[in-house]
Amino acid sequence: MYASVRLIYKAALTATLPLVISGCMLGPDYQRPEVPEPAAFRGEEGKAQAESIADANWETVATDPVLQELIRDAISNNLDLRTAAARVTEARARYGIAKSFLYPSVGVTGGYSSQQDSQLADLPQGDASNSSYENWNAGVQASWELDLFGRVQRQSEAAFARYLATEQGQRAVLVTLVGDVASSYLLLRQLDMELEIAHQTVVSNEETVRFYQNRLKGGLSNRLELDTAIANLARTNTLIPQLEFDVATTENRLSLLLGRPPGPIERGEPLSSSHVPPSLAVGMPAALLERRPDVQAAEQELVAANANVGAAKALYFPRISITGLYGTVSGDFSDLMDNDAEVWSVSPSLFAPVFQGGRISRNYEAAQAAYEQAFFQYQKAALNAYREVANALAGIRTLGVARATLQIGVKALQDAATLSRLRYDAGLASYLEILNADQDLFDQRILLAETQGAELRAYVELYRALGGGWQ
């Protein structure tokens, strides 16, 4: 029996192989479209270099051990990343489904039927005869659509491209996740520093208020000085609840990224111990399209759309299928496996579209429109990648200048505060001068902490924008 099946399959293949070989793949073969790209990133002219910080593993960029552990937890438990992984598994399975149509479909058939005929006409009463028939059948059936015009192959190409797109999408989620965890952690450390400054200032302001209260009781001060001290204390105290709220919401955001219920987050190095990289290599703009997973995902969607155009075009042409059957038929189950009961058939079939109510044309038109959408989305993804890198570089430059300026300003205000106390002790200035100097110093220290945090997050954003974080 199995030998006969192989013979039928061989005969069918021999008959159709010339047709398959002479077949053609319809539709355009994919070619990467041109995307306008800058010769160099703004501010990086004349610094062209092949290496990029994005080529480094995130563990070499995020040096804080606590931050490293938080990122590992996020990679293991983040729900968006798990969803992306499941999406990859689904796309891989769908590609397997699409690819399976390139091969014959083989199945086992079997059945039983019973028929009874009654012949009553023109017979004396009681002379009626009954005839009963039974039919048993079993066999193997194979069917195969000859992909002469590449419709099935193009559909398989599209499914494979979508599978690759989901893989790149998973990497894009990972890149974003690493960046979000690092940025949120740095923001948390920034808020910690601001809270520390605020609490230190509150303690100092409380001492000042008590100082003026005692002086006012002794007739050595006026009400203006005390009210000014109280106002400075109230201003600082007002800032603390807002900072504490920001800390809580940032911890909750980090908890979500880590796949945890809202709660406290571990701390590592303080913001003051974090340093910007001494040198920064961004690489060539042309390499960005190869490194960014979101751009790669957009390109694979374009590949899929291009393949779908070919599949839609193939619908204009005939579809040829071959069905083969080998089995046995017998009126008695016990004789079903006898050689005399063998039957076989090979049945080619042809379907050529003549009138479809415009369905094929509209389908082809829709596929072309989908390709155009994917094309524009790919271009947008590429240009957005350049924009994000340029923005991150601009942020690093401007925030670096601002940080350096604020550091000079804070040092100058610290000296001014010290000098104002010396002037007060010498009777050359009022205590209001000390109050004003302390308040200016507090404002500048808070602004410096904000700028330091923003600068460090700009480096994280540059790392993410360059496609780093998933290696």
Helix or strand run (H / E) with residue 10: helix 2-22
pLDDT at 288 over 80: yes
pLDDT at 42 over 80: no
Do 101 and 288 touch, CB atoms closer than 8 A?
no
Tens-place pLDDT, residues 192-218: 999 999 999 999 888 888 888 887 787
Number of domains composing the chain: 1
pLDDT-based confidence at residue 118 (cuts at 50, 70, 90): low
pLDDT at position 105, please?
84
Flag whether 143 is in a domain. Answer: no
Flag whether 271 is in a domain. Answer: yes
Flag whether 188 is in a domain. Answer: yes
Half-sphere exposure for 9 (CA within 13 Å, toward CB): 15
Which domain, by its residues, includes 72?
Answer: 26-113+150-318+362-465
**Average pLDDT rounded to a whole number, residues 152-164:** 92
Give me the phi and psi of 319, to 5 degrees please.
Answer: -115, 125
pLDDT at 95 over 80: yes
Flag whether 334 is in a domain. Answer: no
Is the CA virtual torsion 172, 175, 181, 183 positive or negative? negative
Do 289 and 88 touch, CB atoms closer than 8 A?
no
pLDDT at position 5, please?
39
Flag whether 372 is in a domain. Answer: yes
Question: For the domain that residue 267 is a member of, what is the CATH number?
Answer: 1.20.1600.10
Structure-block tokens of residue 466: 């360059």
Residue 75, C-beta contacts closer than 8 angstroms, at least 6 positions apart:
81, 174, 177, 178
Flag whether 353 is in a domain. Answer: no
pLDDT at position 7, please?
41
In which residue are the tokens 């059936």 written?
Answer: 141
Flag whether 77 is in a domain. Answer: yes
Q: Which of 3-12, 166-175, 423-432 has the lowest mean pLDDT?
A: 3-12
Do 421 and 438 touch, CB atoms closer than 8 A?
no
Flag whether 217 is in a domain. Answer: yes
Q: What percent of the chain has pLDDT over 70?
A: 85
pLDDT-based confidence at residue 112 (cuts at 50, 70, 90): confident
DSSP-derived secondary structure for 190-239: HHHHHHHHHHHHHHHHHHHHHHHHHHHHTTSS-HHHHHHHHHHHHHHHHH
